[in-house]
Chain A
């Protein structure tokens, strides 16, 4: 197994994870998904650190990844507490709700096109009928309500 090739391939995978996470962090509006994307960027860095550690035959890369894991756990706990606090105030996870925090010279963001709220968007879960079919109620079938 060629060590140089392994290092290069791992570095590109790490770069891909980082770049995709960057795209998600910039573009998504749901605060929780934004934090997921931040975690994905951390994961990309971890992949490259492990690859560098193997390339240098050194434990430092794996040690750093262990500490990244610790910091990610802390960050997730505090960020989720903050997200919950923000959710209690605004009633939505939309980060655009807080755009009044922007700088003075920035124009406000206005959605150009809102998604249509059609009925077929709502797929509520249903249970499929199962088990034995009960015998038909004769009285109910033959009943006439206005005699």
Chain B
């Protein structure tokens, strides 16, 4: 078997790691474009080893959706501002919802948008607004061991791509296909026009216990959340009163001096009143 594809995947992995490292947030920002170019070359090297989806139309739609998923993902992890990272992640979710729809799983595509982008991501944004002290924190432009982690992520991608490509290029595997589903069978089961009815039937018959467990998990999560938040306030009370008093003293002292300093100035500089009093 020709193993030229392994070298190309290796080069793609190295380029992906280098590009991610170049794009990682750093104290003195250089702009994302050089890193993005390297990442694009790496992705191109990986994609060049994949078989065509078949036909120009499906090809175009698939690569559009894949690009709308992967490129915002790169932007999510490399964007210094957490607010923009969350919004880029919403773009990733929209792209993957498109991928789900393209596979014919309509419910998941819609649920990803509603539950993930609509509920979970908005919760993230709420917490960001609650907890983000200033617009530009220094730790957002610092990373842990960016080269090593870029290498780890890229090696993961490279190994998985190598495994996927080599398994399906293998002659033995091609001679004994694991599963060859015909279009007729797909139309009867997974791509059935009554998608929701089939899905709900499966969910509430074969996976009924899992549904009950998931409901219990949600309830436990809710109770745990409330417990954490109430405990948080209880444990803060003795400390918070002391800190709070000190803070208010500082703030009132500061604002008093501010008022004392700015009072006469603003009265003198006031265009209407100050002028009239002099006249």
Q: How far is the CA of A140 from the CA of B276 in the complex (A)?
A: 9
* Chain B 225-265 interface residues, beta-carbon cutoff 8 Å to A: 225, 228-229, 231-232, 236
Contacts of A145 in B (CB 8 A): 274-275, 278
Q: Which residue of B lies closest to A80 (CB)?
A: B127
Contacts of A69 in B (CB 8 A): 111-112, 115-116
Contacts of B66 in A (CB 8 A): 9, 13
Q: Are A12 and B229 neighbours in the complex by a CB distance under 8 Å? A: no
A9-B66, A40-B76, A55-B179 known; 11 other A-B pairs, CB under 8 Å? A5-B50, A6-B53, A23-B150, A23-B152, A27-B145, A54-B190, A66-B203, A73-B115, A74-B217, A74-B220, A74-B221
Name 6 interchain pairs, CB-CB below 8 A, sorted by A.
A2-B51, A27-B77, A66-B111, A84-B229, A92-B137, A122-B136
User: What class of interface size applies to chain A in its complex with B?
Assistant: 35 or more
Select which of B130, B199, B222, B236 is within 8 A of A59 by beta carbon. B199
Contacts of A134 in B (CB 8 A): none
Q: B interface vs A, CB < 8 Å?
A: 16, 20, 24-25, 27-28, 43, 46-47, 50-55, 58, 62, 66, 69-70, 73-74, 76-78, 82, 85-86, 89, 92-93, 96, 99-100, 103-105, 107-108, 111-112, 115-116, 119-120, 123-124, 127-128, 130-133, 135-146, 148-150, 152-154, 156-157, 160-161, 164-165, 168, 179-181, 185-186, 189-190, 198-199, 202-203, 206-207, 210, 214, 217-218, 220-222, 224-225, 228-229, 231-232, 236, 271-272, 274-275, 278-279
